[in-house]
Amino acid sequence: MIEIRFHGRGGQGAVVASKLLARAVVEEGKYAVTFPMYGVERRGAPVAAFLRVDERPIRLKTLIYEPDIVVVLDPALLALVNVFEGLKEGGSVIINYGGDPSRLPVDRGKYRLFVVDATGIALDLGLGSRTNPIVNTAMLGAFAGATRLVSLETLERVVREGAPAKKEENAMAVRRAFESVREVT
Partner 1 sequence: MKAVLTGNESAAWGARLSRPKIVAAYPITPQTTIVEKIADFIANGEMDATMIHVESEHSAMATCISAEATGVRTYTATSSQGLALMHEMLIWAAGARLPIVMSVVNRAFAPPWSIWSDHMDTVAERDTGWLQFYAENNQETLDSVILAYRIAEDRDVLLPAMVTEEAFILSHTVEPVEIPDQGAVDDYLPPLDLPHRLRPGEPVGYGSLMMPDQYMEIRYRMARAMRRARRVEEKAYEDFWDTFGRLYAPVEEYKMDGADVALVIMGSIASTAKDVVDSLRERGRKVGLLRIRTFRPFPAEEVRKALSSMDAVAVLDRSYTFGHLGALATEVRSALYGSSPPIKNYIVGLGGRDVRVRDLEWIVSDIEKVAKEGLDREITWVNLRGGEE
Q: Residues interacting with partner 1, by CB under 8 A? A: 18-19, 22-23, 26, 31-36, 38, 40, 57-63, 65
Provide the minimum distance between the beta carbon of 15 and partner 1 in the complex, in angstroms, as a whole number: 9
> Which residue number, 50 or 97, has a Cβ lying nearer to partner 1?
50
> How many Å apart are CA 126 and CA 80, to the nearest integer?
27
CB closer to partner 1 out of 38 and 105: 38
Between 11 and 36, CB nearer to partner 1: 36
Q: How far is the CB of 64 from partner 1 (least distance, A)?
A: 10
Q: Are strands 31-36 and 46-54 parallel, antiparallel or unpaired?
A: antiparallel
Contact 135, 118 (CB under 8 A): yes
In the complex, the smallest distance separating the C-beta of residue 33 from partner 1, rounded to whole angstroms, is: 5
Distance CA 60, CA 79 (A): 31
**Rounded CA separation 9/5 (Å):** 13
Q: Per DSSP, what are the bridge partners of residue 163?
A: none
| Number of C-beta neighbours around residue 101 at 10 A | 16
Rounded to a whole number of angstroms, the minimum distance from the CB of residue 78 to partner 1 is 25
Q: Which is nearer to partner 1, 63 or 80 (CB)?
A: 63
